[in-house]
Chains A and B, each alone.
Chain A
């Protein structure tokens, strides 16, 4: 492999003119194993299978269909957010405000609908606009100032965390919002965001369906559309992308807005699943999303990754989180597991990106 590639670097023969020649021996096709391993989602797929098998053996209740549905539900609430976070990461940025953004969206919908005594759909729409607005603000500030996204979104993270608590207390006099379950439109919205359906004897949450549908859509966009091409380009080399005419600002700002959309969707799920929202929640979730994306094979520095990888990443999280409970262990171990998985995945990523670009 390395021999032939070095020969490619030192071209001594004049090029064979015209399209007649098939191969000139200067390059060889990379072996199948290398090409497979260069796919960012392969490592995490193997990891997810390993974790699944591990808990199948060590925690007998996991083998039950109902437990599996529960694990998938846990995974989906992480996974729906991990998708836009992953796309943003491929685009070279990350969003620390994603976790509190979910709560901000849920609070907005809840309080707008309740305080104005309107149909909950009004609150849902206002929350969507607010979430997209937060995303736009993040992206716009980033492009405008040229600051790293860590700083910009750390700012929005702190602002939202404070605003969530303060405004909720100011309006409701409480740290949680009022129950909206008896308001107009609630059952409709619940059907969309938080219903369940039966598969045989097992009850499956609708978020699992949304999660997989979004993942399929994200994969298609990423690999088969112009916009997907631009995401890889702005994350891989922003200046080169700009030089060949890729609209860098549009791509990055829209990616932040996509994270806003995800935060809105998960926020709506939480609101219609629990009827009220705790204003102090969501802190720390942003790191879970980022970790799921990184475990899913997305390069933290951008330019490489997939939408399928974070699906497996989120599944590993859901699996470990619930598996520990089913195995009867102390749930405190979850964070330790998480750290080990993150480090392991990062090392694999590093090795893979070196192997894939080695010449």
Chain B
């Protein structure tokens, strides 16, 4: 399983692909608070772009701009090279940008197939008798889920009975089916255990192999490094690091995420406070080591 995830991005995807979505020095201010400033990012089809950052780094603002919930106040947002301003999530969806939110946008008590088609139901018959095309919807949902490797025997079961990882995968399969070209995943592994995270990472790889551009938001550098082609680390609303996979190692990535520079400054400050033994604290370069050993083997 680990091996399937760690395989390099599919070679079949053409390198010349122009970015589907591109941010050019984009920024967003809420009143006098600048949440995001000068962030550039490009999403290519068949590539996974990872956006990392601590809480409050501006990850949510970034997703909201791309998914149409908020509008940027500086710089530009380009879809297929054309500058756009989405005013509703529907417009972003119509442009092929689908977002799988942390809460997954599912209704727990409703059956799996009803959730799959919610908001885009298939119908048949003339108006007064227009009714849901249940047969086709169930069949399609089943096929799409199988294509993503999810086999459910009972599509009538409430989606709330599925495990967190399965629900996440249904949400991804739904976005793929409804014609998404760009998939934004908001912390899909945040609430999951190690094994379930592995399943979700596998589906991210599958979506990528199907030619989708994936924006993978996370604060876990290990998960990001398993599937990512490009890494952007946000800090306090600005881009701290933007590097492709061959330019950065997992250790460097972890270090950026852990705030290596800040830790050094903090250590310096602590040294001024009597009673703190700074000799015992790890060096800047060491901050990654304790965390880096665990997940690779177990994921």
Interface residues of A (CB under 8 A from B): 5, 8-12, 14-19, 21, 23-24, 26-30, 35, 220, 224-226, 228-229, 232-233, 236-237, 239-241, 243-246, 299, 303-304, 353, 356-359
Contact = CB atoms under 8 A, between A and B. Distances in A.
Given A9-B163, A245-B120, A359-B163, A240 B105 contact: yes
A229 B114 contact: yes
Contacts of A35: 156
A240 B103 contact: yes
B196 A11 contact: yes
Contact of B154 (A9, A30, A357, A358): A30
A248 B101 CA distance: 18
Contacts of A228: 132
A35 B157 CA distance: 9
B107 A14 contact: no
Contacts of A243: 89, 101, 105
Contact of A357 (B104, B107, B150, B161): B161
Given A12-B1, A23-B151, A303-B108, 10 more contacts: A11-B196, A27-B157, A30-B154, A226-B132, A229-B114, A229-B121, A233-B107, A241-B118, A246-B118, A303-B109
Interface of B: 1, 4, 89-90, 93, 101, 103-110, 114, 118-121, 123, 130-132, 134, 143, 146-154, 156-158, 160-166, 195-196, 199, 202
A19 B106 contact: no
Contacts of B154: 27, 29-30
A240 B163 contact: no
Contacts of A5: 161
Contacts of A357: 108-109, 158, 160-161
A1 to B, nearest CB: 11
- Lowest 10 CB-CB distances: which A-B pairs, in order? A15-B149, A245-B119, A236-B107, A244-B119, A9-B163, A243-B105, A240-B105, A224-B131, A237-B107, A303-B109
Contacts of A23: 151, 153
A24 B146 CA distance: 11
Given A12-B1, A29-B154, A244-B120, A19 B109 contact: no
B251 to A, nearest CB: 28
Indicate the member of A9, A23, A30, A237 with the most B CB atoms within 10 Å.
A237
Contacts of B163: 8-9, 11, 359
Residue among B110, B118, B153 having the largest count of chain A Cβ atoms under 10 Å:
B118
A304 B109 contact: yes
Contacts, number: 129
A245 B94 CA distance: 11
A244 B195 contact: no
Nearest to B131: A224
A245 B148 CA distance: 23
Most A CB contacts (10 A, CB to CB) among B104, B108, B150, B163 go to B163
Contact of B195 (A10, A14, A233, A239): A10
Contacts of A226: 121, 123, 130, 132
Contacts of A11: 163, 165-166, 195-196, 199
A225 B124 CA distance: 10
Given A11-B165, A16-B151, A236 B105 contact: no
A240 B104 contact: yes
A359 to B, nearest CB: 5
A232 B164 CA distance: 21
23 contacts: A8-B163, A8-B166, A9-B163, A10-B196, A12-B1, A14-B1, A15-B149, A16-B151, A18-B146, A27-B154, A35-B156, A226-B121, A226-B123, A226-B132, A232-B110, A233-B107, A240-B106, A241-B118, A244-B118, A245-B120, A358-B161, A359-B161, A359-B163
Contacts of B1: 12, 14
B114 A244 contact: no
B132 A14 contact: no
A354 to B, nearest CB: 11
Contact of A15 (B131, B151, B161): B151
Contact of A16 (B143, B149, B156, B199): B149
